[in-house]
């Protein structure tokens, strides 16, 4: 299947900081869910910015077969504008894409309904819990109907129960419109539960240390966490992470 975004032997150097990523090759097929796992400083977020088109590689090829508004990003923090209501925050990317305000607000309301925030349209970000704010951020990312959804450690600041609930929510939302999802995480379990494919990066500058295919169709039932397949996948990812760290040090 043709990829919607592909990185071929890319390298990213930052002035004064040296190489942050690469050489790194990676591609995403339409509708697949891929997790990027690696130690801190391995260049996971840099890779995500390349995929989003927010940054260009220093060397190598980046091919993006995506148009304006077809890529969405959810950052580690909800990143909501504090002066806007939840609905207006979700409507913002739609309005920036040229959709009239009234229509954008209606679509934003529907997106908030989909993430279970029907009663919080008018709430400001400061009035929302961490989990609710992240749901608004998800609704904003999905409102434009993206073909590629990039999640940069979106649940890192949340408690374990909220993390698990939001992971299920993301999978449920994915099953509605099936965008390709690439998410960065430090959590081996989260990667094994949510992704069909896990790409493990070495210690920085990140290269591919290994790739693990996770068995079972998506979205997975909650009981998947208790299966031998899940445990084996988590162990494989952990082993690959350890190998990746050793290979460099």
Interface contacts to another protein, rule CB under 8 A: 49, 52-54, 68-69, 71-73, 75, 77, 79, 81-84, 92-93, 95-97, 123-127, 144
What is the separation, in whole angstroms, between the first and last Cα of the chain? Answer: 36
Taking the least distance from each CB to another protein, the nearer of 63 and 160 is 63
Taking the least distance from each CB to another protein, the nearer of 95 and 168 is 95
Under 8 Å between Cβ of 38 and 206:
yes
Q: Cβ atoms within 10 A of the Cβ of 141, count?
A: 24
Taking the least distance from each CB to another protein, the nearer of 81 and 239 is 81
* Minimum distance from residue 129 beta carbon to another protein (Å): 13
Taking the least distance from each CB to another protein, the nearer of 75 and 121 is 75
φ, ψ (nearest 5 deg) of residue 80: -100, 150
* Minimum distance from residue 68 beta carbon to another protein (Å): 5
* Minimum distance from residue 124 beta carbon to another protein (Å): 3
* All residues at 6 or more sequence positions from 37 whose CB lies less than 8 Å from its CB, including other chains: 44, 184, 185, 186, 188, 191, 198, 199, 200, 201, 237, 241
* Minimum distance from residue 83 beta carbon to another protein (Å): 5
**DSSP strand pairing (148-152 vs 71-74):** parallel
* Minimum distance from residue 186 beta carbon to another protein (Å): 18
Under 8 Å between Cβ of 79 and 92:
no
Taking the least distance from each CB to another protein, the nearer of 82 and 228 is 82
């Amino acid at each position: 299947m043709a990829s919607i975004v592909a990185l071929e032997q890319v390298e990213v150097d930052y002035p004064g900081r040296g190489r942050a990523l690469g050489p790194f090759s990676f591609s995403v097929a339409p509708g697949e869910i891929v997790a990027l796992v690696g130690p801190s400083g391995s260049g996971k977020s840099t890779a995500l910015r390349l995929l989003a088109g927010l940054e260009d590689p220093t060397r190598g090829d980046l091919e993006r077969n995506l148009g304006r508004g077809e890529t969405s990003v959810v950052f580690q923090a909800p990143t909501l504008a504090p002066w806007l209501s939840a609905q207006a925050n979700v409507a913002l990317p739609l309005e920036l894409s040229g959709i009239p305000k009234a229509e954008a607000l209606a679509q934003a309301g529907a997106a908030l309904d989909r993430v279970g925030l029907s009663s919080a349209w008018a709430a400001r970000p400061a009035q929302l819990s961490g989990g609710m704010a992240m749901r608004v951020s998800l609704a904003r990312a999905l409102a434009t109907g993206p073909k590629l959804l990039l999640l940069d450690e979106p649940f890192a600041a949340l408690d374990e129960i909220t993390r698990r609930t939001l992971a299920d929510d993301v999978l449920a939302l994915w099953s509605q419109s099936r965008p390709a999802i690439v998410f960065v995480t430090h959590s081996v379990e989260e990667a094994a539960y949510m992704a069909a494919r896990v790409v493990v990066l070495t210690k920085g500058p990140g290269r591919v240390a290994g790739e693990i295919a996770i068995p079972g169709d998506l979205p997975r039932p909650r009981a998947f966490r208790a299966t031998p397949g899940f445990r084996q996948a988590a162990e494989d990812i952990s082993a690959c992470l350890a190998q990746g760290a050793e290979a460099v040090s």
